[in-house]
Amino acid sequence: MRKTTPRQDLIRGVWLENPVLVQALGLCPALAVTNTVANSLAMGFATFFVLLGSSVLISSVRRWVPGEVRISTYILVIATFVSVADMTLAAVVPDIHKALGAFIALIVVNCMILGRQEAFASKNTVARSALDAIGTGTGFLLALVMMGAFREILGAGTFLGFPLFGPGFEPWVILILPPGGFLTLGVILLLLSAFERRRLRRQAANPSPAPMRRAA
C-alpha cells in the first residue's frame, strides 16, 4: 500500500480520487436522486453520515473482526447506520425523505461505502479512517451537488426551488427525468477529462508525480 500523509487521506477523496467522477463508484444514487439540488444535498449528507459512522466504527473494531466474516460485519454496520439515517430524515425532513424514497435504504449497497471499509478503514487507525471518510464523503456530496445543480437549473429553471429565469425560459425537462442523469454525468465526465488532458499536455515536459487515476 502506498504511504500517505493524513492530509492526503483527507483531501484525495474530494477531487483527485473523487468517488463518483474519478472512481465511478456510487453511481446509482448519483444518477437517480440528483434531479434537484435539495435531493442531492440530502442524499450527499445521508451518505456522508453513513460513511463516517461506518468507517469510525469498523476501524475501531478492526482487530476483533475475523477475516472470514468481515464483509458481513461491514454490511451489518453500514445497514445499521442507514436505518438510523432513514429514521432521522423521516423525523426531521419528511418531504425530502419522501422524495428520496427507496434510495435511502439503498445506501446500504452503495459500493463506495463498502469499498472504503475494505480498502481503508479495516487497515488504518480510527483518526485516519475518519479523515478518509470525511474526504470521500465530501467528494461524493460535491459530485452529487454538481449534478443536481446542472439538472435543476437547466431542467426546471430553479435552484433549490427558487426560479432563476423569467417566464420565457423553456425547461429542458429531459434533464430531471432519468435519462438526464446519464446525460449530465456524461457531460461532466467529458469536461473533466478534457481539462485533465490539457493539464497533462502542459506538464508533458515535466511529468507530475500525481497522475489522475481513472477507474472507469
Residue 177 beta carbon to another protein: minimum distance, rounded to whole angstroms: 5
Residue 72 beta carbon to another protein: minimum distance, rounded to whole angstroms: 6
Closest to 52 in 3D by CA, of 112, 103, 92, 109: 112
The reply to whether 88 sits near another protein by the rule CB under 8 A is yes
Q: Please work out, in degrees rounded to the nearest 5, the angle formed at the alpha carbon of residue 100 by the alpha carbons of 40 and 189.
A: 35
Closest to 113 in 3D by CA, of 1, 13, 205: 13
Q: What share of the chain is helix, strand, coil (3-state, %, to 5)?
A: 70, 0, 30
Our CB check for another protein shows the closer of 183 and 192 to be 183
The reply to whether 158 sits near another protein by the rule CB under 8 A is no
The reply to whether 80 sits near another protein by the rule CB under 8 A is yes
Q: CB under 8 A: which stretch of 43-51, 70-78, 129-137, 204-212 binds another protein?
A: 70-78
Which residue from 23, 34, 54, 73 is in contact with another protein, where contact means CB under 8 A?
73
Contact indicator for 110, 87 with CB cutoff of 8 Å = no
Which residue from 5, 6, 7, 69 is in contact with another protein, where contact means CB under 8 A?
69
The reply to whether 194 sits near another protein by the rule CB under 8 A is no
Grid cell for residue 105: 435504504
Give the span between the Cα atoms of 181 and 159, in whole angstroms. Answer: 17
Residues near another protein (CB under 8 A) are: 1, 3, 32, 62-70, 72-73, 76-77, 79-80, 83-84, 87-88, 90-92, 94, 101-102, 118, 122-124, 177-178
